[in-house]
A and B are shown apart, each in its own frame.
Chain A
Amino acid sequence: MDTAQTVETQVSELRQIAKEIRRKSLEIIHRAGSGHPGGSLSAADIMTALYFGVMRYDSNNPKDPNRDRFVMSKGHATGVFYSVLSRAGYFADEDLVSYRRIDSKLNLSGHPHPKTPGVEIATGSLGQGLSVAHGIALGARLENSDYKVYALMGDGELQEGQVWEAAMSAAKFNTNNLIAIVDFNKVAQDNITKDLKDIEPLEDKWRSFGWDVHRIDGHDMDQVYKALTLPLDNKKPRVIIADTIKGKGVSFMEGKTSWHGVAPSDEDYEKALKELA
């Protein structure tokens, strides 16, 4: 196969996996009876591409010093995060039963914690993950390692000032192995992000902060995969602004603030699964 064909095969596999991941995310949120379905579904394609097409890791050796790192800065998206980690082999599917349950052996808490294999840092307070990811990326330089660090942020999260502190820092240090991804699903907990506090013009903002900026359709797997596998810039850190839809894949969840932090009822769950079949 030539390269184009290889990419095409890869992308079509990723599309299939993304469907699975969406179903799994909803399954574990439904079973837990609480969680954040909207922001998990919007990030499902990005997460699938990262873990099953892009990142270098060995789930049997989660602390491999040369692994690519991922920081789930939008920490509430554990539905998709744990689903992906489990499928990647960091832990078993059965372990997901303890998601959001007391005495969870792997600490599958509502928000991530490094006790869970595959998790680098605790998140859940928005705005911190990009700084952490930047610190990890600087670590690669000190260790002469070529690993890359990916941080997934929400669009609402960009209202946190610290994100822009980190943006300035990474540009200052030419941290080109840092790749930020914005899951721009347009909806935050209270309101649509634009009305809550508009973050646009977003490309201009990042560009003016000295970043290499790309904007893609975050549900078009071809675009997602290609953006995530671009060669690194020589100097600049990279941001991929992924336009997404909150609740993507489940018609009655799409674009709704009401599905930010509510688990589906049995009936809604059945309906959602049919749409994701």
Chain B
Amino acid sequence: MKDGATRDGYGACLEEIGADPRIVVLDAGVSDSTRSKKFGDKYPDRFFNMGISEGDMVCTAAGLATTGKVAFATSFACFLLGRTMDQTLVSVAYSNTNVKLVGTHSGLAVGEDGPTAQMIVDLAYTRAIPNMTVIQPADYEEAVQATQALVDHVGPAYMRLGRPKVKGIYDSSYKFQIGKGNVVKQGQDVVIFATGGMVQESLEAMKVLEADNINPTLVNISTLKPIDSQLIVEQARRNGAVVTAEDHNIIGGLADAVLEVMSDNDVSVPFRRIGVRDTFAETGSLKELYFKYGLSAQHIENTVRSLLK
């Protein structure tokens, strides 16, 4: 299991599989941070640094995609989605072009740069767009595999990545599949559906809980759309209580995605949401922000305990 940021997994995968002539990569002037530069250094002919103009980048990617390319358009999640809702709707989603939007530095996890850099509404944005596939890998290995999967996937997609290093969860025996959740640990009484860095945060919480003989189930929802409804229904029924955990606003992201599935399938069990509680955060370290805004392992732990009372 390799520790590393999901953005590093993305960069490493692109570098490794970049000989595939279908792949083109675009960036909006932050390629060093997003790691798309790794591809750019190796395959300069198929790398387009568009400068700080995300709308232009997304549409240029759409144009390249119409010529048969798999176009990865990369920037920080806050600008990539925040500035291109319209371009993403018209030139990517409605046109159904083979563009993979990759947003790094998502969530409060980005830390000290503050709320203008902390993208907490991108899952809501992208989930609401027809034709759009939405993915958020939980660790380095899953990011590598998700990037590979996106090369073979046809159509618009958004992949949400993080800046900080995350402890490895998966090794190469893991097989990521778009649309499939993964049971990280099968337990009982409560199931935690987590996404992105919150999978690791949940594992931290579970260590403490397990010492008290509390053994929740942990499911990694790395594809938010199309979501693994079958697994969600099965695990919600089997465990009888649900917690969702995401570094995103509690509106429109994983919590709503899981609730939608439960509602559509008449699954009615106790339900708690871990996420940013519809507020802008502030500057601070990841640890401080997660603690202050209710995303820490301790909050997950307490939430699980409260459901078992």
Give A residues with C-beta under 8 Å from B.
65, 71, 113-114, 120-125, 127-129, 131-140, 142-143, 161-162, 165-166, 168-169, 172-173
User: Would A142 and B97 count as touching, CB distance under 8 A?
Assistant: no
User: Would A133 and B63 count as touching, CB distance under 8 A?
Assistant: yes
Q: Does B64 contact A (CB under 8 A)?
A: yes
User: Would A162 and B94 count as touching, CB distance under 8 A?
Assistant: no
Q: Which of B83-130 contact A (CB under 8 A)?
A: 86-87, 89-91, 94-97
User: Would A135 and B86 count as touching, CB distance under 8 A?
Assistant: no
Q: Does B180 contact A (CB under 8 A)?
A: no
CA gap between A136 and B57 in the complex, in Å:
12
Can you name 6 A-B residue pairings with CB atoms under 8 Å? Answer: A128-B55, A139-B66, A142-B64, A161-B55, A165-B51, A166-B59
Given contacts A135-B65, A138-B60, A142-B69, contact A173 B48 (CB under 8 A): yes
Chain B contact residues: helix, strand, loop or mixed:
helix
Contacting residues, chain A, for B57 (C-beta < 8 A): 131
By Cβ-Cβ distance, the 4 closest A-B pairs, closest first, are A135-B63, A139-B67, A131-B59, A165-B56
CA gap between A71 and B62 in the complex, in Å:
12
User: Would B56 and A169 count as touching, CB distance under 8 A?
Assistant: yes
User: Would A134 and B63 count as touching, CB distance under 8 A?
Assistant: yes
Given contacts A113-B94, A114-B96, A165-B53, contact A134 B60 (CB under 8 A): yes
Contacting residues, chain A, for B45 (C-beta < 8 A): 142
CA gap between A135 and B24 in the complex, in Å:
11
Contacting residues, chain B, for A166 (C-beta < 8 A): 56, 59-60
User: Would B67 and A142 count as touching, CB distance under 8 A?
Assistant: yes
| Most chain A CB atoms below 10 A, which of B50, B55, B59, B89 | B59
Nearest Cβ distance between residue B130 and chain A, in whole angstroms? 12
Nearest Cβ distance between residue B257 and chain A, in whole angstroms? 27
Nearest Cβ distance between residue A178 and chain B, in whole angstroms? 10
Other A-B contacts than A121-B91, A125-B89, A137-B63, 4 sampled, CB-CB below 8 A, are: A114-B95, A128-B87, A131-B63, A132-B60
Q: Does B255 contact A (CB under 8 A)?
A: no
Contacting residues, chain B, for A162 (C-beta < 8 A): 53, 55-56, 59, 87
User: Would A121 and B63 count as touching, CB distance under 8 A?
Assistant: yes
Contacting residues, chain A, for B206 (C-beta < 8 A): none
Contacting residues, chain A, for B90 (C-beta < 8 A): 122-125, 128
User: Would B69 and A168 count as touching, CB distance under 8 A?
Assistant: no
Contacting residues, chain B, for A136 (C-beta < 8 A): 63-64, 66-67
Q: Does B46 contact A (CB under 8 A)?
A: yes
User: Would A131 and B60 count as touching, CB distance under 8 A?
Assistant: yes
Q: Does B61 contact A (CB under 8 A)?
A: yes
Give B residues with C-beta under 8 Å from A.
21, 24, 45-46, 48, 50-51, 53, 55-69, 71, 86-87, 89-91, 94-97
Nearest Cβ distance between residue B88 and chain A, in whole angstroms? 10
CA gap between A135 and B26 in the complex, in Å:
10
CA gap between A219 and B61 in the complex, in Å:
34
Given contacts A131-B63, A136-B67, A138-B48, contact A122 B55 (CB under 8 A): no
Q: Give A134's nearest chain B residue, CB to CB.
A: B60
Given contacts A136-B67, A139-B67, contact A121 B56 (CB under 8 A): no
User: Would A138 and B64 count as touching, CB distance under 8 A?
Assistant: yes
Contacting residues, chain B, for A138 (C-beta < 8 A): 48, 60, 63-64
Nearest Cβ distance between residue B117 and chain A, in whole angstroms? 21
| Most chain A CB atoms below 10 A, which of B21, B24, B45, B60 | B60
Partner of A142, one of B24, B58, B87, B94: B24
Nearest Cβ distance between residue B29 and chain A, in whole angstroms? 12
User: Would B69 and A139 count as touching, CB distance under 8 A?
Assistant: yes
Contacting residues, chain A, for B58 (C-beta < 8 A): 131
Nearest Cβ distance between residue A81 and chain B, in whole angstroms? 15
Q: Give A141's nearest chain B residue, CB to CB.
A: B45
Contacting residues, chain B, for A161 (C-beta < 8 A): 55
Nearest Cβ distance between residue B112 and chain A, in whole angstroms? 29
Nearest Cβ distance between residue B258 and chain A, in whole angstroms? 32
CA gap between A245 and B29 in the complex, in Å:
40
User: Would B51 and A168 count as touching, CB distance under 8 A?
Assistant: yes
User: Would B62 and A132 count as touching, CB distance under 8 A?
Assistant: yes
Partner of B64, one of A123, A129, A139: A139
Given contacts A131-B63, A139-B69, A169-B50, contact A121 B97 (CB under 8 A): yes
CA gap between A266 and B307 in the complex, in Å:
69
Contacting residues, chain B, for A124 (C-beta < 8 A): 90
Contacting residues, chain A, for B66 (C-beta < 8 A): 114, 120-121, 132, 135-136, 139
CA gap between A128 and B54 in the complex, in Å:
11
User: Would A122 and B48 count as touching, CB distance under 8 A?
Assistant: no
Given contacts A128-B55, A131-B59, A168-B53, contact A122 B91 (CB under 8 A): yes
Contacting residues, chain A, for B55 (C-beta < 8 A): 127-128, 131, 161-162, 165
User: Would B51 and A132 count as touching, CB distance under 8 A?
Assistant: no
CA gap between A168 and B50 in the complex, in Å:
9
CA gap between A165 and B62 in the complex, in Å:
15
